[in-house]
């Protein structure tokens, strides 16, 4: 039976997907690489370095390892400049009550974010204490869609993967949840989320009673 819910952060709880998108877009334009919405969608949920590799697929020239590191750092600087100003107002509508409803139902909560900025964000958003376990992205070696991060979250909660539900806004994340052997809830409207077991337009529509049969 269902005992835990594992949330993604960017694009599910925090309104940061647009900030990541803008930072990559700025970098792409500075180095003369095309950036359209298809590329933008592919970057969602994917860690920083893997995102850069996707971006550079469009590049006519090769970049050295040190150059790539500098580019990834530059993107992160653009991103950090924006989230420095973040506060609880940057929670997506309904996100906090969705997490609280899971806790009230007696289930455990975890965060499975690929972002190395996740601890800072949780602090700024004021929701760090709503999670029983937070996966440290620094300890993950394989980016979503690999199941590693969701498996680490289940292990951290002391639960079997089959007892967990994953909530994601990115195709890479849905694939990661499924490979981990969990039920996947997609948040958003994008065609790329078609694989989700249940698709909700936004996190405000997430209600744990959809899965437990009890009222939240
Ligand atoms: P950082 P999530 C992911 O977070 C983002 O969706 C993705 O766009 C970003 O590249 C990745 O985190 C790494 O973030 O550069 O801050 O370490 O959706 O898994 O919460
Ligand atoms: Mg996400």
| pLDDT tens digits, one per residue of 133-171 | 999 899 899 989 999 999 999 999 999 999 999 999 999
Ligand 1: which residue has its CA nearest to atom 16?
A: 115
Question: By the 8 A CB rule, do 132 and 109 touch?
Answer: yes
Q: Is 10 among the residues known to form the active site? A: yes
From the CB of 10, is ligand 1 less than 6 Å away? Answer: yes
- Could you give the C-alpha distances from 53 to 23, 65, 149, in angstroms and in order? 15, 11, 20
91 — pLDDT class (breaks 50, 70, 90): very high
Ligand 1: which residue has its CA nearest to atom 7?
A: 45
State both tokens at 35. Answer: 């950036």
Report how far ligand 1's centroid is from the alpha carbon of 214 (Å): 33
Best of 22, 45, 80, 120 for a ligand 1 pocket test (most atoms within 8 Å of beta carbon): 45
Report CA dihedral (30, 34, 38, 39) to the nearest 10 degrees.
-50
Give this complex's ipTM: 0.93
In the chain, % of residues over pLDDT 70? 99
């Amino acid at each position: 039976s269902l005992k835990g819910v594992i949330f993604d952060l960017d694009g599910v709880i925090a309104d940061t997907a647009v900030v990541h998108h803008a930072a990559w877009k700025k970098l792409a334009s500075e180095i003369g690489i095309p950036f359209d919405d298809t590329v933008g969608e592919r970057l969602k949920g994917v860690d920083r370095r893997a995102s850069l590799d996707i971006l550079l697929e469009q590049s006519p020239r090769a970049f050295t390892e040190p150059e790539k590191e500098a580019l990834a750092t530059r993107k992160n600087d653009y991103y950090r400049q924006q989230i420095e100003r973040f506060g609880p107002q940057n929670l997506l509508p309904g996100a906090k009550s969705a997490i609280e409803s899971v806790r009230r139902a007696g289930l455990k909560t975890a965060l499975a974010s690929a972002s190395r900025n996740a601890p800072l964000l949780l602090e700024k958003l004021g929701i760090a204490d709503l999670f029983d376990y937070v996966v440290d992205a620094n300890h993950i070696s394989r980016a979503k869609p690999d199941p590693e991060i969701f498996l680490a979250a289940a292990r951290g909660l002391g639960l079997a993967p089959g007892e967990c539900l994953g909530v994601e806004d990115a195709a890479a994340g849905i694939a990661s949840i499924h490979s981990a052997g969990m039920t996947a809830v997609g948040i958003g409207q994008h065609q790329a989320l078609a694989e989700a077991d249940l698709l909700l337009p936004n996190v405000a529509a997430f209600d744990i009673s959809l899965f437990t049969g009890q009222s939240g």
